[in-house]
Amino acid sequence: MTDLGLLHFCLGIEVWQRKDGIFISQQKYSKEILKAFGMMDCKPTSTPMEVNHKLSMDDNMPDVDAKKYRKLVGSLIFLCNTRPDICYAVGVLSRFSNKPKESHWNAGMRILRYIAGTLDFGILYTTGDTLQGYCDSDWAGDCDSRKSVSGYCFSLGSGIFSWVSRKQPTLALSSTEAEYKAACFASCEAVWLRRILADLGFPSNMPTVLKCDNQSCMAIAKNPVFHARTKHIEVQYHYIRELIEDEIVELEYCPTEANCADIFTKALGREQLNKHLQQMGIGPRPT
């Protein structure tokens, strides 16, 4: 076995290790994507998707090459390994891989324009020991199925290392129900992460704080008296109640403006996007 020193490059991910932290990015891979789709000299944009821009399958725009479109989506999915800021936009594009339209292709080109302006972006990890998470949802965000989008992320006091932007498997009848499901998904992830940390020698005796911006969701999770209003919700989503009672997870309210999981559920404006990126440890490589 040969000692090659500190890790610098692995599976397309570039790693910079310093005394004050570790920074990972995919700058080289990003340039390859831009070059493959002829976007090296494009005009950059400040956000990966327009605010309130809704894409649908029932679009009157002409069809585009499905093979080329799937190649674009697949490339962007791999880039999400170090770029959580494009997860929501890429997830939306992946819904139309079977029959993409010109509007879907244009949305993909906008993501490339955003990447062109943020080539040196990645995630910075510094010293931290407190596991905490954020969860959020966008009620009925999918125009075709009217299903909601769940998002959550976890960190140990620095850059996020676990995140998800995913369409919920079942319909939610209210925004509270959508938030409740998202909180349950996040709490299951918290349990898994706590077990991994315990196996690594970092057990936690304190509950993991999960921040949510919906107080109705928190009330349902903490108070079983609301059962009459929530009995239509599948039993699996009430798992979070047991975790709260056993002091494994603790729900804590935070305003929407401070909930960085918002980036995984909807398209944000430049100011709010930049605020959440800083909160999650995403930005250019420190000099």
Which residue matches tokens 């349990």? 191
Taking 50 as the pLDDT cut, the residues of the chain under it are none
Give the other-Cβ count within 10 Å of 112's Cβ.
24
For residue 151, the surrounding DSSP H or E stretch is strand 149-155
User: The whole model's pTM is what?
Assistant: 0.92
Q: Is residue 2 part of a domain?
A: no
Which CATH number does the domain housing residue 239 bear?
3.30.420.10
Do residue 140 and residue 232 come from a single domain? yes
How many structural domains does the chain have? 2
d(CA 125, CA 82): 12
Q: What is the pLDDT of residue 279?
A: 94
Do residue 115 and residue 30 come from a single domain? yes
pLDDT, tens digit (0-9, with 9 covering 90-100), for 254-273? 999 999 999 999 999 999 99
Do residue 112 and residue 136 come from a single domain? no
Do residue 183 and residue 230 come from a single domain? yes
Cα–Cα nearest to 193, from 235, 220, 217, 160: 160
Q: What does the block give as tokens for 149?
A: 């989008």
Strands 149-155 and 132-138: antiparallel
Query: 88 and 267 in contact (C-beta within 8 Å)?
Result: yes
pLDDT, tens digit (0-9, with 9 covering 90-100), for 16-56? 998 889 999 999 999 999 999 999 999 999 999 999 888 99
Q: Is residue 281 part of a domain?
A: no
Which residue matches tokens 């991910």? 13
Q: Is residue 254 part of a domain?
A: yes
Q: Which domain range does residue 190 map to? A: 128-269
Q: Is residue 282 part of a domain?
A: no
Lateral strand order in the sheet of 13-18: 9-10, 13-18, 21-25, 121-125, 282-284
User: Which of 96, 119, 142 is the last residue before a domain boundary?
Assistant: 119
